[in-house]
Amino acid sequence: MERKTRVRFAPSPTGPLHMGGVRTALYNYLFAKQRGGDFILRIEDTDSHRFVPGAEQYIIEALGWCGIRPDEGVDENGKVVSVPSEKHPHAPYRQSERKSIYRAYAEQLVRDGYAYYAFDSAESLAALRVEMEAKGETFIYNYSVRGKLRNSLTLDAAQVERLLAGTNDWTVRFKMPADRIVQMDDMIRGHVEVNTRTLDDKVLWKRADELPTYHLANIVDDHLMEITEVIRGEEWLPSLPLHYLLYEAFGWQDTMPRFAHLSLLLKPDGKGKLSKRDGDKLGFPVFPLRWTSPDGEVSRGYREDGYFPEAFVNLLAMLGWNPGDERELFTLDELVEAFSIERIVKSGARFNADKAKWYNKEYLRRKSPAELAEAFVPVLEEKGVSVLDGEGCAASEVKDFAGRRFSRSYVEKVVALIQDRATFVRDFWDIASYLFVSPAEYVEKDAAKFWKPENTALTFELAAHISTYDKPLEKAGLEAEIENYIRSREWPMGKVMNCLRLALVGASSGLGIADIVCLIGLEEFGRRVERARNTLGA
RNA sequence: GGCGGGUUCGUAUAACGGUUAGUACGCGAGAUUUUCAUUCUCGAAACAGGAGUUCGAUUCUCCUACCCGCUACCA
């Protein structure tokens, strides 16, 4: 019988999710949605020592920002579900709240001979490890040493009972077979085999906190939650044999999920995988959202750096996957359509900040001016420019340069003309501040180049002519008028235009003269020319 | 050290035994433009090395090198 596709993203709330984690979640999501399946969020908080407050909420918020919404595990308020319901039948989805489930499974394995109780203390193991390493031997806790240690395999039943009841630092360990080749299949890497001889008797359950370790909790929950595919990071590949053996020991082979191990995201320059530490150091965020750690340390995020979630998702998807053709721009829905595990790349991907910016630029230029204006408003207000909304201003556009008040329709017009020139919304101010504030000073170098008596005389004459323009202010018409005026007099076009631009912008860069005049209007135009004349001289 | 994974221009990638090894970002040069930006055109830039298998290997096998991961009562 064909099972419904169910995948899960199972982060550990030990800190903010970094972009590699988001990519893993994204690939899981895409896989599930493509097959009409479920994407489940499960919180793996079985390490009580590494719990970080706020991390869980961060993970949910980050996924939400990306548009990745779990079908199960998180309720409509963005909280991890603890109580089972029709929509969330497998609750709780936080492993710490599933504590009671795991012990029985651990005991089942002991009873069936696949695991045993181990009574060695952490200190005695550490000592043994040091001792063996001193002799040049590698310490592996497996068949080779378990016979010499204190456990339910070497101690008699009565003693085991006594230790089980009377002490609380024992563990349940998996009894790794001595010499067996485990044959595995990975959806990305193909056939993989490992001899159990090199593997160790992993701890499955700890009496001290009555919590399972990752391996047990993971297998039990994936089974209980009817997970069909496990798509996770490459760091888990070495423990895949153990996981196979656990499914076998439980007798769950027939419903064992298929596995896909994703390569890691590497640092752009140096060596090693992208880690949480090297965010600011490398000049780009490693986190989707800004994160303030409990001790007050702040790490930047893509959201706060001005990236659109669509761009972030897109660039992440293309880091280790490609559609097989030359398309590069995909919305989340398009990714759902195009995604395929077969086209995931095996090797690790190095993140490239320039490409990330390019993606944002592409999305920015595709956005509507209305949406961009909306995002630009806070920036304007920060700069002391107020944006007027509402009924009154629709009819008559407000552009009050001295009072720094502009109607939203004006902001939209500005944005429409500059959106091709920006990578982020925050670039707008640098590109277009002169469309809101008269230039207070003039770039010295540009002034020296263009503000010369032979140019200014002509410029003032042109400005005077423009001021008398009585047709509706509209780019094409005004542009033709200006060009015509200059050409018919055989004036040097570049010199005059740049001289005038200097007066309007304060520099010899920026939009076309006609565009600027149409935006700021004749009145402001006249003021700027006057001001330049007074400041720079005629 | 042991085990596993990986290796195509600087980066991300295409190629699934036969190609002038393609594309994108970035970089360089031109063109367009009233400046800047955009846009357009062109250019430089890669099969880690060595053995096999084959009529023929970037592609298959093995070895070496390098990179990455794991080797915790962390995930």
What distance in Å separates the CA atoms of residue A521 and residue A399, rounded to the nearest whole number? 9
- The pLDDT tens digits of the residues spanning A191-215 come to 999 999 999 999 999 999 999 999 9
- The pLDDT tens digits of the residues spanning A387-400 come to 998 655 555 789 99
Give, in Å, how far the C1' of B36 lies from the CA of A485. 23
pTM of the model: 0.95
Given a cut of 80, whether residue A270 has pLDDT beyond it is no
The length of chain A, given as a count of residues: 538
The answer to whether A352 CB sits below 7 Å from nucleic acid chain B is: yes
Higher-confidence residue of A133 and A373: namely A373
The answer to whether A477 CB sits below 7 Å from nucleic acid chain B is: no
Give, in Å, how far the C1' of B50 lies from the CA of A382. 64
The answer to whether A145 CB sits below 7 Å from nucleic acid chain B is: no
The answer to whether A475 CB sits below 7 Å from nucleic acid chain B is: no
Amino acid at position A533, single letter: R
Residue A160 has a CB neighbour count (10 Å cut-off) of 19
Q: The domain at A438-538 falls in which architecture?
A: Orthogonal Bundle (1.10)
Residues 164-183 of A, Cβ under 7 A from nucleic strand B: 169-171
Q: What is the mean pLDDT of residues A178-188?
A: 95
What distance in Å separates the CA atoms of residue A149 and residue A215, rounded to the nearest whole number? 23
In this structure, which topology does domain A97-262 adopt according to CATH? Answer: Glutamyl-tRNA Synthetase; domain 3 (3.90.800)
Tokens of A521: 């209007």
- The pLDDT tens digits of the residues spanning A86-144 come to 999 999 999 999 999 999 999 999 999 999 999 998 888 888 888 888 887 888 999 99
Distance in Å from the first CA to the final CA of chain A: 87
The SS3 of residue A400 is strand
The answer to whether A106 CB sits below 7 Å from nucleic acid chain B is: no
What distance in Å separates the CA atoms of residue A37 and residue A140, rounded to the nearest whole number? 41
ipTM field? 0.96
What distance in Å separates the CA atoms of residue A101 and residue A16, rounded to the nearest whole number? 27
Predicted local distance difference test score (pLDDT) of residue A483: 95
Torsion of CA A410, A412, A414, A415, to 10 degrees: 160
Given a cut of 70, whether residue A329 has pLDDT beyond it is yes
DSSP one-letter string for A422-454: -SSTTHHHHHHGGGTS--SS--HHHHHHH--HH
Higher-confidence residue of A28 and A280: namely A28
Task: Categorize the per-residue pLDDT at A278 as very low, low, confident or very high, splitting at 50, 70 and 90.
Answer: low
Predicted local distance difference test score (pLDDT) of residue A392: 52
Given a cut of 60, whether residue A446 has pLDDT beyond it is yes
- The pLDDT tens digits of the residues spanning A255-269 come to 999 999 999 988 776
The answer to whether A510 CB sits below 7 Å from nucleic acid chain B is: yes
Predicted local distance difference test score (pLDDT) of residue A137: 81
H/E element, A41: strand A38-41
Mean pLDDT of chain A: 94
Predicted local distance difference test score (pLDDT) of residue A138: 82
| Residues of A annotated as part of the active site | 276
CB A140 within 8 A of CB A200: yes
Residues 276-315 of A, Cβ under 7 A from nucleic strand B: none
Predicted local distance difference test score (pLDDT) of residue A268: 72
Given a cut of 70, whether residue A416 has pLDDT beyond it is yes
Q: What is the mean pLDDT of residues A232-255?
A: 97
Predicted local distance difference test score (pLDDT) of residue A280: 66
Given a cut of 80, whether residue A538 has pLDDT beyond it is no
Predicted local distance difference test score (pLDDT) of residue A242: 98
CATH (residue range A6-93+264-350): 3.40.50.620
Q: Determine the longest span between alpha carbons in chain A, in angstroms.
A: 112
Q: What does the buried/exposed string (b/e) look like for A106-132 if buried means 16 or more CB atoms within 10 Å of the residue's CB?
A: beebbeeebbbbbbbeeeeeeebeeee
> Residue A416: which residues within 8 A CB-CB, separation 6 or more?
A369
Q: What is the mean pLDDT of residues A505-525?
A: 96
Predicted local distance difference test score (pLDDT) of residue A279: 66
Predicted local distance difference test score (pLDDT) of residue A211: 95
Q: What is the mean pLDDT of residues A212-233?
A: 98
Strand B nucleotides where any atom sits below 7 Å of a protein CB: 1-8, 10-15, 22-26, 33-38, 67-75
Ranges of each domain in chain A: 6-93+264-350, 97-262, 368-437, 438-538
Predicted local distance difference test score (pLDDT) of residue A131: 84
